[in-house]
Structure 1
Amino acid sequence: MKQSSRKPLREDHGVLYLHGPRDAGQTSLLLQFGFSQAQAGRNVVLVMCGSAGASQQPAASQIVPLTPCANCQMPVQTGEDNGIWSRIHINSAELQHFLCSLHVVDKETSVLLVEGFERFFSDHSHMGSVYQTLAYLMEAKEYMKTATGSGVAVVTGNTDAFLLRDRPLLRRWCRFLEIVPGTEEPDVYTLREEVEDAADVREDVARVQSR
Structure 2
Amino acid sequence: MLEQQYLGTSSSEKKTFGISTQHYTFAVNAFSQLVQELNPEEFDFIFRETTVSEVINDVKCYKSEIGILYMNPFNKPTIQRHLREANLVFTELFSVSSYILVGKNHPLASKKEIQFRDLRPYIFLSFGKGEFNSRYFSEETLDILDHRKNIRVSDRSTLFYLIHTLNGFTTCTKMIDKDLQGEDIVAIPFKTDEDFFL
TM range (shorter): under 0.3
Using the size of structure 2 for normalisation, the TM-score is 0.27
Structure with higher Rg: it is 2
> Which protein has the bigger strand share?
1
